[in-house]
Chains A and B, each alone.
Chain A
Amino acid sequence: MKNFDSEKHVRGESQFVDDLPVPEGTLYAHVFYSRVAHGRIVSIDLSAANAMHGVAAIFTAKDIPGENQIGGIVQDEPLLAEHHVHFIGQPIAVVVADTALNARSAAAQITVEIEKLPVITDPRDAFLNNELLVPPITFELGNTNAAWTQCDVVIEGIAETGGQEHLYLETQGAFAVPAEGDAVKVVSSTQSPTAVQRTIAQVLNIPMHKVEVDVLRLGGGFGGKEDQATPWAAMCALASSSLRRPVKMILHRQDDMRMTGKRHPYSSDFKIGLKKDGTVLAYEAAFYQNGGAAADLSPAVLQRTMFHCTNSYFIPNVKAVGYSCRTNLPPNTAFRGFGGPQGKFVIEAAIFKAAEVMKMDPFFIQKKNLLKNGDEFPYGQIAERCQAVPCWNLLEQKISIDDVKRRTADFNSANEWKKKGFALMPICFGISFTNTMMNQASALVHIYTDGSVGISTAAVEMGQGVNMKIHGIAQRIFSINAERIKLESTNTTRVANTSPTAASTGADLNGKAVQLACSVLLDRLKQFVSEQLQQPDSAKIVIRDEKLFNDGKETEWTWPRLILAANGARISLTAQHFYSTPNIHFDRETSKGQPFAYHVFGTALFQVTLDCLRGTYGIDAVNVVHDAGKSLQPVIDRSQAEGAIMQGIGWMTMEEIIYNNEGRLITDALSTYKVPDIHFTPAEMNVHFLDSSENPFAPFNSKAIGEPPFMYGIGVYFALMNAVKAFRPDVTFPVIAPMTPERALCLLYKEVGTLAPSLQ
Chain B
Amino acid sequence: MNILECIINNASVKIPANHGIVLLDFLRQHEHLTGTKEGCREGDCGACTVLVGELQGDGVYYRSVNSCLMPLSDVHGKHIVTIEGINQPKELNPIQQAFVNDGGTQCGFCTPGFILSLTGYFVNNGKFEPADALQAVDGNICRCTGHTPIKKAIHHIVDSLKNNSAADGTFLSYCVEQKILPDYFLAIPARLRSINTAPLTDVHIEEEHTIVVSGGTDLYVQKAFTMHAEKIKNIASWRKSIPITEDENTIHIPGTTTVEEFRLSPVVAKYFPELKRQFECFGSTPIRHRATVAGNIVNASPIGDMTCLLMALNAVLTLRDAGSSRKIPLRQFYKGYKLIDKKYSELIESVSFSRPKSVTRLSYEKVSRRQFLDIASVNTTMVFEQTEKGMLQCGISAGGVAPVPLFLAKTSEYLNGKMVNGDTLKESLRIAQTEISPISDARGSAEYKRLLLRQLIAAHFMKYFPGAVRKGSLI
Contacts and interface: CB of A to CB of B under 8 A. Distances in A.
A269 interface: no
B197 interface: no
Contact of A639 (B106, B369, B448): B106
A755 B450 contact: yes
B179 interface: no
The contact size tier of chain A is 35 or more
B373 A677 contact: yes
B147 A253 contact: no
B372 to A, nearest CB: 5
A7 to B, nearest CB: 6
Contact of A642 (B32, B146, B433, B448): B146
A169 B107 contact: yes
Given A10-B99, A253-B42, A656 B369 contact: yes
B143 A672 contact: no
A639 B103 contact: yes
B265 to A, nearest CB: 23
Interface in A162-178: 166-171
B257 interface: no
Interface in B39-74: 39-42, 44-45, 47
B241 interface: no
Contact of A681 (B109, B151, B370): B151
Given A613-B455, A672-B442, A680 B371 contact: yes
B377 interface: yes
A656 to B, nearest CB: 7
Contacts of B447: 746, 754-756
Contacts of A170: 37, 39, 107, 109
Interface stretch (A140-148, A461-469, A536-544): A461-469
B87 A11 contact: yes
A660 to B, nearest CB: 9
Given A614-B456, A745-B455, A463 B144 contact: yes
A416 B471 contact: yes
A114 B308 CA distance: 43
A16 interface: yes
Mostly, the B contact residues are loop
A402 interface: no
Given A10-B92, A643-B144, A674-B369, A679 B109 contact: no
B100 A678 contact: no
Interface in A201-219: 217-219
B433 A755 contact: yes
Nearest to A105: B225
Interface in A625-645: 635-636, 638-640, 642-645
A113 interface: no
B475 interface: yes
B377 to A, nearest CB: 7
A636 B103 contact: yes
A742 B445 contact: yes
B317 interface: no
Contacts of B430: 757
Interface in B120-179: 134, 137-138, 140-151
A312 to B, nearest CB: 22
A593 interface: no
Given A12-B83, A680-B370, A220 B144 contact: yes
B306 interface: no
A666 B441 contact: yes
A370 B34 CA distance: 50
A678 B35 contact: no
A6 interface: yes
B42 A669 contact: yes
Contact of A741 (B373, B377, B450, B454): B377
A45 to B, nearest CB: 22
Contacts of B100: 3, 6-7, 10
Given A7-B92, A10-B111, A613-B455, A101 B145 contact: no
A105 B112 CA distance: 31
A570 interface: no
Mostly, the A contact residues are loop
A667 B149 CA distance: 28
Contacts of A752: 451, 474-475
Given A677-B372, A678-B151, A741-B367, A218 B107 contact: yes
Interface string A675-706: 11111111001000000000000000000000
Nearest to B447: A754
A104 B371 CA distance: 34
A13 to B, nearest CB: 7
A5 B475 CA distance: 55
Contacts of B367: 614-616, 741
Given A12-B112, A681-B148, A749-B475, A757 B443 contact: no
A534 interface: no
A643 B145 contact: yes
B138 A678 contact: yes
Contacts of B107: 9, 168-170, 217-220, 462-463
Contacts of A168: 107, 109, 143
Contacts of A250: 38
A635 B103 contact: yes
Given A11-B35, A169-B39, A677-B372, A642 B138 contact: no
Nearest to B111: A9
Most B C-beta atoms less than 10 A away, residue of A18, A462, A639: A639
Contacts of A640: 106
A8 B92 CA distance: 10
B448 A464 contact: no
A9 B82 CA distance: 14
A168 B142 CA distance: 9
A127 B134 CA distance: 48
B455 to A, nearest CB: 6
A14 B433 contact: no
A18 B38 contact: yes
Nearest to B444: A742
Contacts of B97: 10
A671 B107 CA distance: 23
A667 B109 CA distance: 23
B47 A169 contact: yes
B423 interface: no
A110 interface: no
Nearest to B134: A678
B373 to A, nearest CB: 6
Contacts of A635: 101-103
A674 B370 CA distance: 7
B350 interface: no
Given A7-B92, A169-B107, A220-B109, A676 B221 contact: no
B224 to A, nearest CB: 9
Nearest to B453: A755
Interface in B357-387: 365, 367-375, 377
Contacts of B412: none
Contacts of B140: 678
B276 interface: no
B452 interface: yes
A614 B455 contact: yes
B341 interface: no
B441 A677 contact: no
Interface string A639-673: 11011111101000010101000000011011111
27 contacts: A10-B100, A11-B96, A12-B34, A16-B109, A166-B143, A171-B39, A252-B41, A613-B462, A616-B367, A616-B371, A635-B103, A669-B40, A671-B44, A671-B221, A672-B442, A672-B443, A677-B370, A677-B373, A678-B134, A678-B140, A678-B147, A680-B370, A742-B369, A742-B377, A749-B474, A751-B475, A755-B447
7 closest cross-chain pairs (CB), A and B:
A12-B35, A646-B146, A9-B108, A463-B107, A639-B103, A219-B109, A12-B83
Interface of A: 3, 5-16, 18-19, 21, 101, 104-105, 166-171, 217-220, 222, 250, 252-253, 416-417, 462-465, 613-616, 635-636, 638-640, 642-647, 649, 654, 656, 658, 666-667, 669-682, 685, 728, 740-742, 745-746, 749, 751-752, 754-757
